[in-house]
Amino acid sequence: MSAPGDIWAVVPVKELDGAKQRLAGLLSPAQRRALIEVMVGEVLDAVAGARRLAGIMVVTLDPSTTTLATRLGARVVTDGARDGHTGSVTAGLTLLAREGRGGMITLPGDIPAATSAEIDAVLAAHLAAHPSGPSFTISPAHDDLGSNAVVCSPPNAVPLRFGENSYFPHLDAARRVGIEPTVIRQPGVAMDIDHPADLAAFLRLPQSAGTRTRAFLEDAGIPRLLVDRGFT
């Protein structure tokens, strides 16, 4: 059996064509695809730079994501890739549990301000709170609705179900199996991008400075467009 610190990242990435429909009022289909591609690249770079991870698994069928993940040395899994966010993560963690891995952290591909240091901080908090035995840690979205980073030891310690209102249900799910969850907030991990208001919040985030995502949005004229439409 692996040690508790044997934690793998599981990053689900659906096929990019048609992604981020809720940004359709601001960005063309080609721009939305380009945006998610940039965001996924930044998330995978952050994951690859985290020092406390034993490995990276990307659950996807998307060709460009597969190429990027392979270049970063990640393990690409296709099983479950078309089963939605929950199905993709479940497929990944089930495989890790079958292999006897110590744990897993899952993050979405649309948190481009997340850093390697934040991911390591979440993992450190997880290991410090429960150095042995089943454990569960969560880093919520900025609105306390989404579950932007979830750590489980072992990988299948808590049944997961993602969605726009998953944070408190995940806390309840952990407690139902006898685990008191650890909560750690990180500004970059918290900033997922789904709606125009999220873009405005991302641009206000000091941590967004220097990201490729911010440069893309500025090149596309999105900051001015957001102001013109009342997203300040």
Per-residue pLDDT for 176 more than 60? yes
pLDDT at 2: 47
Domain count, the chain: 1
- For the stretch 94-127, pLDDT in tens is 999 999 999 999 999 999 999 999 999 999 999 9
CATH code, domain with 178: 3.90.550.10
- For the stretch 117-169, pLDDT in tens is 999 999 999 999 877 789 999 999 999 999 999 999 999 999 999 988 999 99
In a domain, 197, yes or no: yes
Q: For the chain, what is the mean pLDDT?
A: 95
The pLDDT-based confidence of 203 (bands split at 50, 70, 90) is very high
In a domain, 2, yes or no: no
In a domain, 173, yes or no: yes
Across 179-189, average pLDDT: 97
Q: pTM for the whole thing?
A: 0.95
In a domain, 228, yes or no: no
Give 206-211 contacts, CB < 8 A, sequence gap 24+: 207/113, 207/115, 208/112, 208/113, 211/42, 211/112, 211/113
Q: Cα(60)–Cα(6) distance, rounded to whole angstroms?
A: 22
Measure CA 131 to chain center.
23
Domain that holds residue 90: 7-158+165-223
In a domain, 1, yes or no: no
pLDDT at 4: 54
Beta bridge partners of 103: 7
The pLDDT-based confidence of 1 (bands split at 50, 70, 90) is very low
